[in-house]
């Protein structure tokens, strides 16, 4: 934390607002193979980034792709603990 004359500046990183999805999760939601999802990422059809050798897809990018391809908004997925 740095104190300035009129404000205090915090150097804490902001939390990520967008959940990152694996290729397995996206493949399951789209009912396609993980290879297909990797190909979509590699060609830029789904905005994604690589962490090492693995692709991570922001949930907003997945939703944008889903809406663009199917013309629908996918319902919110909620998980309950048992």
Whether 40 maps to a domain, the answer reads yes
Average the pLDDT over 54-82 and give the result.
Answer: 82
Whether 2 maps to a domain, the answer reads no
Whether 13 maps to a domain, the answer reads no
Whether 12 maps to a domain, the answer reads no
Model confidence at 72, pLDDT cuts 50, 70, 90, reads confident
Structural domains in the chain (count): 1
Read off φ and ψ for residue 55, nearest 5 degrees: -90, 145
DSSP 43-65: TTSS--EEETTEEEEEHHHHHHH
Residues making up the chain, counted from first to last: 82
CB 20 within 8 A of CB 56: yes
Whether 79 maps to a domain, the answer reads no
- For 36-64, the pLDDT digits (tens) are 999 999 999 999 999 999 999 999 999 99
Give residue 29's domain range.
Answer: 23-72
Average pLDDT, rounded, for the chain: 83
- The pLDDT score that the predictor gives to residue 16 is 56
- For 7-44, the pLDDT digits (tens) are 566 666 655 578 999 999 999 999 999 999 999 999 99
Q: How many CB atoms lie within 10 A of CB 23?
A: 22
Whether 30 maps to a domain, the answer reads yes
């Amino acid at each position: 934390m740095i104190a300035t004359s009129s404000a205090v500046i915090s150097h804490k990183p902001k939390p990520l607002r967008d959940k990152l999805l694996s290729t397995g999760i996206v493949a399951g939601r789209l009912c396609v193979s993980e290879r297909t999802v990797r190909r979509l990422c590699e060609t830029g059809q789904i905005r994604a980034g690589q962490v090492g050798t693995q692709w991570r897809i922001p949930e907003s990018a997945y939703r944008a792709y889903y809406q663009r391809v199917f013309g629908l908004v996918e319902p919110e997925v909620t998980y309950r603990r048992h």
